[in-house]
Amino acid sequence: MAKVDGPLFSLSAHGDIGGALRYQNRKGTNYVKKLNNLPSSMSAKQRTWRQHYRDVWNDWYGIGFFGQLLYAMIASMRGYQSGHHYYLFVNL
C-alpha cells in the first residue's frame, strides 16, 4: 500500500497502489511506474475462442501448397480476397 504524508498522489508518496502503480523517490526525483502484473481480464469463452482462432490460423499453414492453391481458386470464384480469407470463413 502506498504511504503518503499529504494529499493522495503527493510528491512524498511511495509504495504500490493496488498492484497497478508504484510510487518511488530516487535521488530526489519522484517516479510513478506502471506495473504490468495485473491478472488477465479475459473470460473463459474469450480464451476458448482465441485458442480456436489460433488453431485455425496454424492449420492454414499445415494444408500445404496445393491445398492453399485449391482454396485460392475457390475463393476467387466466390468473390473472396484470398484463399486464406475463404479458409477462415469456412472453418470459423
Could you read off the pLDDT of 7-22 as tens digits, one per residue? 556 666 778 777 778 8
CA gap 73, 66 in Å, rounded: 10
Are 59 and 23 in a shared domain?
A: no
Could you tell me the residue range of the domain that residue 18 belongs to?
1-39
Q: What are phi and psi of 40, to 5 degrees?
A: -65, 140
Q: pTM for the complete prediction? A: 0.49
What would the pLDDT profile of 33-82 be if each residue is shown by its tens digit?
887 765 677 889 998 999 999 999 899 889 999 999 999 999 999 988 88
Strand order in the sheet with 21-26: 15-17, 21-26, 29-34
Q: Are residues 30 and 60 in the same domain?
A: no
Same domain for 58 and 75:
yes
What pLDDT shows up at residue 2? 56
Concatenated DSSP letters for 4-31?
-SSSTT-TT-BEEETTTEEEEEETTEEE
Are 17 and 31 contained in the same domain? yes
Same domain, 23 and 60: no
- pLDDT at position 26 is 80
